[in-house]
């Protein structure tokens, strides 16, 4: 695995500033300082590429909107929102040349990009009070048909928070410009994801995504992409 020095700094810092032992007690309160520290690394990561700027905040806002539409509790909505803010911290370990490549990725380059999920979990793992937030992050690139990564999970093995986060992440990615393509409209992005079936948005989550898009509830967030 080839990662940048920024990744090693993030990993060291998250270990140093974790104020809680690794007990797995998810009832522990979130430490605002540690979470802000990780957010600072996300800002540094997003500064690596103009195509990533603001992505984490937009995904967090859209994911929370979808979670609210699905009727999740306030606590669960905030967990999904926090997962959205932190979900891409592992991209601090992805090479800039790969992030900004204007053409199709090679198999090796795509494998390198996929490592960002496990890199992010390693950075965040000392922050044990994040509890289910870590699971949502771990699952945001998994798909209910087993076609996702990093673990190829399927069906009920995927957390609802992870499915929501994956939908918000995909929607923002498609409606944001990239080095290799122009941004899609919100309607075209949603239609494309729906056409993929379970490889796109989880069928349980899709109706809620369609409602918030059609009601204009996410336009205020994705319009800033």
HSE-up of residue 111 (Cα within 13 Å, Cβ side): 5
Question: Dihedral through CA 23, CA 27, CA 33, CA 37, nearest 10?
Answer: 60
Which contacts of 81-84 are long-range, i.e. CB under 8 A and separated by 24 or more positions?
A: 82/30, 82/35, 82/130, 82/133, 83/133, 83/136, 83/137, 83/140, 83/161, 83/165, 84/56, 84/57, 84/59, 84/60, 84/165, 84/168, 84/169
Q: Is 91 a catalytic residue?
A: yes
Which residues sit opposite 181 in a β-bridge? 178
- Catalytic: which of 91, 101, 114, 122? 91
Q: So which residues are the catalytic ones?
A: 91
């Amino acid at each position: 695995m080839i990662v940048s020095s920024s990744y090693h700094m993030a990993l060291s810092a998250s270990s140093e500033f974790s104020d809680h032992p690794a007990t797995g007690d998810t009832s522990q309160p979130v430490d605002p300082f540690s979470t802000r520290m990780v957010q600072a690394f996300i800002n540094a990561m997003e500064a690596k590429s103009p195509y990533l700027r603001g992505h984490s905040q937009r995904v967090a806002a859209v994911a929370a909107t979808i979670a609210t539409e699905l009727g999740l509790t306030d606590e669960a909505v905030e967990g999904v929102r926090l997962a959205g803010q932190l979900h891409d911290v592992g991209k601090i370990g992805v090479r800039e040349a790969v992030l900004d490549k204007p053409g199709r990725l090679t198999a090796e380059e795509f494998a390198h990009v996929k490592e960002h999920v496990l890199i992010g979990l390693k950075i965040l793992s000392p922050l044990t009070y994040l509890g289910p937030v870590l699971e949502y992050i771990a699952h945001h690139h998994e798909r209910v048909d087993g076609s996702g990564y990093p673990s190829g999970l399927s069906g009920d093995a995927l957390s609802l928070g992870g499915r929501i986060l994956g939908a918000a992440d995909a929607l923002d990615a498609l409606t944001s410009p990239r080095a290799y393509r122009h941004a899609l409209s919100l309607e075209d992005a949603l239609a494309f994801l729906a056409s993929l079936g379970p490889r796109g948005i989880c069928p349980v989550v899709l109706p809620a995504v369609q409602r918030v898009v059609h009601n204009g509830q996410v336009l205020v967030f994705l319009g800033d992409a």
